[in-house]
Structure 1
Amino acid sequence: MNLYRLALAGALLLSGAAAAAEFANPLVQQRADPHVTLHADGYYYYTATVPEYDRIELRRARSLDALGKAEAKVVWQRHASGPMSRNIWAPELHHIDGKWYLYFTAGPSDKPFDIRLYVLENASANPLEGQWTERGQLRTGWESFALDATTFALKGRRYLVWTQRPPAADKHMTAVYIARMDTPLSIAGPAVLLTQPEHAWEKIKFDVNEAPAVLARDGRVFMTYSASATDANYALGMLTASETADLLDPAAWRKSAVPVFASSEVTGQYGPGHNSFTTTPDGKTDILVYHARNYRDIQGDPLHDPNRHTRAQAIRWRADGTPDFGVPVADAVR
């Protein structure tokens, strides 16, 4: 590509990114692994990983742009010791059968990276009120490094999707699993492995498939996941299945060979990933909510860098019915 074409491509990319920048990004600063739920009461409920890894916050607002200024209420704090005392990561808020549930990751103080999945429950209409009750560990069938649980319902069936180290895997490898749920606190059958790192872009520094998120539309189920180290190499992959297929059959899913959302030097966004999905209030526009940094180079361990900010952008849909995430949009001018 000659310099003129390169410049033109860059200009088109920038103009496209600007046109898609419908939100005041970043929405919330220093909040990673964002999860947003648009509830029937018209509020967006938001939670995310805090940089201190020590608590779970909730906030709500009538618009995504208002989340950054909304009150952040601490609804749970880590224990002083024991299995839920370190690395409080990736909370997700779900409303199931009239109650609220928070799924999150935690480790013990003596082995902080020996993390597992846990659940909190609240019967209040407003999850920022009422009592959050610890409901214990969500058991997956074997004990190993586990994180990033999400849940979705389709055609009357509820599923749990999460990240875990396979029983015989290398200590730095994680994969994504799915299982049917019989209650919001338990799975009903054996876990099924859906995706593990196999492409080079999924194995940069660490062999990682993690942080699944599910979007169902027009007869298909799209499951994004994040891969590689949590620096500028972090990127989204995607699995696709028919909603009429047996979602517990790995053969029902088709995996993208290349990232569907990745760092962009043009827009100055690096390491986009660990996303969730929501919509505009009218339900007509699907929205990708994710975290990213606005610089490439990180000093030290990326897990100790607090500047993964929450961002959002509208999803475009291709003529073949698949989502086009584009590139992470540039930060808004403030």
Structure 2
Amino acid sequence: MSAYHNPLVLQRADPWVIKHRDLYYFTASYPAYDRIILRAAARLDDLQAAPERTIWRKHESGPMSRYIWAPELHRINGAWYIYFAAAEEDFGSADLPTHRMYVLENTGEDPMDGEWTEKGQIHTPIDSFSLDATTTVIGGSQYLIWAQKDPAIEGNSNLYIARMADPWTLATDPVLLSKPEYDWECIDFKVNEGPAVLLHQGMIYLTYSASGTGVPYAVGMLTAREDADLLDPASWTKSDHPVFKTAEENHQYGPGHNCFTVSEDGSQDLMIYHARNYTHIEGDPLFDPNRHARVGLVTWTDHGPDFGRPLPDDRWTPTSRQILPPDGSH
């Protein structure tokens, strides 16, 4: 494996990395949950020191004024899109925050430049808590995969898929792919969220995260063939165990909300994820900023991807709830 340093980027949870031409672009949840940021670097190891640009800030009021979560950057048909979730009400006003999914567009060549415009909300048939939208193009069709609450199903969120008419509009009704059902998916909260797509030799490996965002957080996986009917739940096979989880021996706890990219030379598949390196969390884990972005190698077996174990840190990390400056200086 190429020697990468961990953490990759300090205090940036829900990391998303896309390699476009000779640059890696990075975004993630900002600890204050009030903006969307981007960084760019030629090497993954340089993302920590890379300048960070704020490309969008939350509204002062209304549906996009609270808890800006889990942005993802995608290149589709020659334009850039950011998918993210935002809420209107604070925690405590309802059983779940009022998150819905939204899209930004930039038609420029470089997402660090140009103008980002709001394309609006991604509307689904059930108007309910929804977040963590990811997208992929397979067989010439664009699909959206996301997490959403169905009032008729116990738990916080399930995974759904739909084909898209354009990058911000669904073309088909959502199809339920997965709901929390195994014990390891239902610790603290019943959650399936944070889907990410990995393609390899005609197969689709769809990872997702489950349980509460503290130590129990872990990664599961569904599998389908690329040439299958992806809107048929029978096309997907769900693993009954987590494929990536806490590694106490490496002081890595609650790994999850991952994405995938490739090494600088394109020869290795990499998993980008977040985790903490301690277990004592005061208050709600969502407001502890020390979920750091990290990187690990994906190895391939006859049975699909092997994500190994979360690797130990070899870079300095903070030990307090203080939010570091954008350059990570301390």
Q: Same fold (TM over 0.5)?
A: yes
1:160 aligns with 144
Deviation by residue 1:236-276 (Cα, 9 ceiling, x = unmatched): 00001111111111111111111000001111100000000
Measure, in 1, the Cα distance between the counterparts of 2:164 and 2:107: 19
> Residue 143 in 1 paired to residue 124 in 2?
no
Q: What letter corresponds to residue 96 of structure 1 in structure 2? A: I
**Which of 53, 56, 72 lines up with 1:73 in the alignment?**
53
- TM-score, length basis structure 2: 0.92
**Percent same amino acid among aligned pairs?**
54
Indicate if the aligned counterparts of 1:22 and 1:313 stay in contact, CA closer than 8 A: no
1:302 aligns with 285
Structure 1: any 5+ residue segments left out of the alignment?
Answer: 1-19
Q: What letter corresponds to residue 57 of structure 2 in structure 1? A: Q
Measure, in 1, the Cα distance between the counterparts of 2:114 and 2:201: 37
Indicate if the aligned counterparts of 1:93 and 1:101 stay in contact, CA closer than 8 A: yes
Q: What letter corresponds to residue 204 of structure 1 in structure 2? A: I
TM superposition shift of 1:150: 0.3
1:9 aligns with none
Which residues of 2 match residues 98-177 of structure 1 at below 5 A? 98-109=78-89, 113-170=97-154, 172-177=155-160
Measure, in 1, the Cα distance between the counterparts of 2:234 and 2:150: 19
TM superposition shift of 1:321: 4.5
Measure, in 1, the Cα distance between the counterparts of 2:127 and 2:140: 29
> Residue 35 in 1 paired to residue 22 in 2?
no
Measure, in 2, the Cα distance between the counterparts of 1:217 and 1:187: 26
**Which of 13, 18, 26 lines up with 1:46 in the alignment?**
26
Helix, strand or coil: the match of 2:234?
helix
Which residues of 2 match residues 305-316 of structure 1 at below 5 A? 305-316=288-299
Helix, strand or coil: the match of 1:173?
coil
Structure possessing the higher radius of gyration over alpha carbons: 1
TM superposition shift of 1:333: 5.3
Measure, in 2, the Cα distance between the counterparts of 1:128 and 1:117: 22
Deviation by residue 1:189-233 (Cα, 9 ceiling, x = unmatched): 000000000000000010000000000101110000000000010
Q: What letter corresponds to residue 309 of structure 2 in structure 1? A: V
- TM-score, length basis structure 1: 0.91
> Residue 271 in 1 paired to residue 286 in 2?
no
Helix, strand or coil: the match of 1:182?
strand
Indicate if the aligned counterparts of 1:215 and 1:223 stay in contact, CA closer than 8 A: yes
TM superposition shift of 1:297: 2.0
Which residues of 2 match residues 206-217 of structure 1 at below 5 A? 206-217=189-200
Measure, in 2, the Cα distance between the counterparts of 1:187 and 1:215: 22
**Which of 176, 180, 183 lines up with 1:200 in the alignment?**
183
**Which of 230, 239, 245 lines up with 2:222 in the alignment?**
239
Structure 2: any 5+ residue segments left out of the alignment?
Answer: 317-330
1:14 aligns with none
Measure, in 2, the Cα distance between the counterparts of 1:317 and 1:183: 33
Measure, in 2, the Cα distance between the counterparts of 1:276 and 1:237: 13
Indicate if the aligned counterparts of 1:218 and 1:321 stay in contact, CA closer than 8 A: no
Measure, in 2, the Cα distance between the counterparts of 1:83 and 1:174: 19
2:310 aligns with 328
Measure, in 1, the Cα distance between the counterparts of 2:223 and 2:204: 6
Q: How many residues are paired up?
A: 312
Deviation by residue 1:292-332 (Cα, 9 ceiling, x = unmatched): 000122111101111000000111111x1500001000112
> Residue 254 in 1 paired to residue 237 in 2?
yes
Q: 1:333 to 1:184 in 2, by over 3 A?
A: closer
Greater share of helix:
1
Measure, in 2, the Cα distance between the counterparts of 1:259 and 1:286: 19
Measure, in 2, the Cα distance between the counterparts of 1:63 and 1:250: 38
Indicate if the aligned counterparts of 1:21 and 1:313 stay in contact, CA closer than 8 A: no
TM superposition shift of 1:157: 1.2
Measure, in 2, the Cα distance between the counterparts of 1:251 and 1:109: 37
> Residue 187 in 1 paired to residue 187 in 2?
no
Measure, in 2, the Cα distance between the counterparts of 1:89 and 1:113: 12
